[in-house]
A = this chain, B = another copy of it.
């Protein structure tokens, strides 16, 4: 059940009208159409008085001519035409519009007036608006895709249980493209630009009750004025259901002034904002990459019962770095009990360190990993397992991936996170392990942040 039925039409419309559609290659109106034609299964109504039949579709002179009420209206025409189009959409009975067009509040006083006018009309007809000046909405599950970027500019990521809310459109486009490269699964995403109506609070609530979504990632530069308290209220409810990770732009005063130029955000004092995030149990991310590293772990793993981490490695240095970083993020890396150490000692030659990390050294075989992992997992002394497996030493084979996955799935109450570093051979292990739903990171520090995120969530809910 959706908590926000008023926003359903943005993500699951049965029909979409595209006002400003165009058959011209390279145009924005063509890009929107092409992307919808590629994956969207509902009815598409291109609206442009210049055309009648193009790209195998019937074109319409205006919204009013369309034989049904389009559930979603996508608007990509010159700013001064937008209020008129909105009124037409309202008369037609549509209750959701994505205004891609720029030239509103972001462009000066005249644009601000135009935006106010558009807002009044939307309110009058009860139309919810995403935009203006945005790239809009994306739903991999229904094929709704108003991002006007062709696939050769922005690859679409695989489907997965992550939603992204971004105040920056270009940021969202480039991060989607990057997620495609990295194989990070994204279900839905939204960028609302000037957010004249729908904002981060609405979207947080919507995704919070959306069963397709397991993790919500946010990039914002500030909450809409007057919406701070509601943001916290909604976030507190949502974080009881699923993790929310947020990256804030404008944390420093110079950054805040840049944000003011960018989205007119009132970034405010970051210490205050950070306090609010903590209250709302939102995980704050310091960096873009962290947002996704934590998101990937939260999307795929159960939350652990505690924060005791056991490490099995074939490389001492990365093991040491892993420990340092886990401690830095508030995790425990307990020394194993004497009896567990004894069991491990009897299993391996003296070169193997057994205190935690278990350092199997560069001579480790697949079987060594199997023995060590099984013994540590079954000891009951850890809540989370980190496997560091460097594939450069010639003994290991990529079958290690399946072996790790088998043990992880057998003991699914204990989340596994894997670290491997390098190029081709590392990628092979990564594919094998991630293919089985276990997250892999190419540096121990990145994995440490993922461990932090899942451990943080073990206290939620």
| Chain A residues at the B interface, C-beta cutoff of 8 Å | 26, 31, 102, 106-108, 149-150, 152-155, 166-171, 173-175, 177-178, 180-181, 219, 221, 247, 249-252, 254-255, 257-259, 261-263, 286-289, 314-321, 323-325, 327-328, 333, 335, 349-351, 353, 355, 357, 359, 361-363, 390-394, 420-426, 442-445
Among residues of B, the one whose C-beta sits closest to the C-beta of A172 is B317
Cβ-defined contact, A288 with B166, below 8 A = no
Given A392-B174, A394-B153, A443-B287, the answer on whether A221 and B422 have CB atoms closer than 8 Å is no
Cβ-defined contact, B31 with A394, below 8 A = yes
Cβ-defined contact, A422 with B391, below 8 A = no
A154 — which chain B residues lie within 8 A by C-beta?
392, 422
* CA distance in complex: A98, B390 (Å): 23
A289 — which chain B residues lie within 8 A by C-beta?
443, 445
For the complex of A and B, list the 9 residue pairs with the smallest distance between their C-beta atoms, beginning with the closest: A168-B317, A262-B316, A170-B315, A171-B317, A177-B422, A181-B423, A255-B324, A174-B421, A249-B320
Q: Give the Cβ gap from A182 to chain B, nearest Cβ, in Å.
A: 8
Total copies of this chain within the assembly: 2
Given A153-B392, A155-B424, A255-B327, the answer on whether A318 and B178 have CB atoms closer than 8 Å is no
A353 — which chain B residues lie within 8 A by C-beta?
258, 261-262
Partner of A316, one of B168, B247, B392: B168
- A-B contacts, 17 of them at CB < 8 A, read A102-B351, A149-B394, A152-B425, A153-B392, A153-B393, A166-B317, A168-B320, A170-B316, A171-B318, A173-B390, A174-B426, A254-B333, A258-B323, A258-B355, A286-B445, A287-B325, A287-B445
A263 — which chain B residues lie within 8 A by C-beta?
316
Partner of A252, one of B249, B324, B424: B324
A393 — which chain B residues lie within 8 A by C-beta?
149, 153, 170, 173
* CA distance in complex: A315, B321 (Å): 34
Cβ-defined contact, B288 with A321, below 8 A = yes
Among A166, A262, A426, which residue has the most Cβ atoms of chain B within 10 A? A262
Among residues of B, the one whose C-beta sits closest to the C-beta of A155 is B423
* CA distance in complex: A94, B30 (Å): 73
* CA distance in complex: A180, B284 (Å): 33
Partner of A362, one of B170, B249, B420, B442: B170
Partner of A170, one of B257, B314, B443, B445: B314
A324 — which chain B residues lie within 8 A by C-beta?
249-252, 254-255
Cβ-defined contact, A317 with B249, below 8 A = yes
Cβ-defined contact, A425 with B320, below 8 A = no
Cβ-defined contact, B320 with A259, below 8 A = yes
Among residues of B, the one whose C-beta sits closest to the C-beta of A419 is B174
Q: Give the Cβ gap from A397 to chain B, nearest Cβ, in Å.
A: 11
Among residues of B, the one whose C-beta sits closest to the C-beta of A103 is B351
Among residues of B, the one whose C-beta sits closest to the C-beta of A171 is B317
